Amino acid sequence: MKYTLFLGILSLASFCHAQKKESGKNQNIVVSFGKSKHYSGDIPGIMFSTEYSKNLKKRISLAIGLGSTIHDGAKELFFNDMNGNPVDGSIRYTVAGFQLSGHLGYNFLNSDSHQFLLRVGPVFRYQSSSLYDDLSIYYPAATGLPIPVIVFNNTEPQRTFTVGLSGQISYSYLLNDKIIIGALAGYQFDTYGDNISQLTLGVGYRF
């Protein structure tokens, strides 16, 4: 009986030591993908990113990420050509960007398996846009021509590089000693006046 009890205590001690060793893993690499919205024109789109993070303390973490967004839309324009054939002359546009971000986070859950983070940090963003600044459409009744006439007026640069601020709320769960899954909601704005939201799901590796 004493021998069995001794083995049980020894096994429990070994298990606790192993758990403590696993909890020492404090670095993550996470890949995320999800929905996004660009509020300069209320354009829907997607966002994907790769991020490295490290726990500086029990509740404080630092993350560095590379991400990209693609938003697109169209202004519908349908008419018939000179032969009476239907034409889809809709004006299509895309706003895409690549960005580097850094976030300092605070974990509200004191757990190795669960993290609920509030994060804030800077964003450095490169963006290219084909969205027009002003658009006028003149129809045949006004021009006497058989098809609409479109006039663009571009007052802003096509390519911009800006600095901004990002805030995020995220939850992650450690499936085992290495694999992480989670969700994130975020909002960012920059010096160019662009505002972008995101709602993503992610999977990662802890080491």
pLDDT confidence of residue 3: 41
Which amino acid is it at 80?
N
Helix, strand, coil percent content, the chain, rounded in steps of 5: 15, 65, 25
pLDDT at 77 over 60: yes
Residues 115-125 pLDDT 10s: 999 999 999 99
Count CB neighbours of 110 within 10 A. Answer: 9
CATH of range 26-206; options 2.40.50.100, 1.20.1070.10, 2.40.160.20, 3.40.190.10: 2.40.160.20
Residues 97-152 pLDDT 10s: 999 999 999 999 978 789 999 999 999 999 999 999 999 999 999 999 999 999 99
The pTM (predicted TM-score) of the whole model is 0.83
Distances (CA, A) of 37 to 101, 181, 198: 18, 23, 7
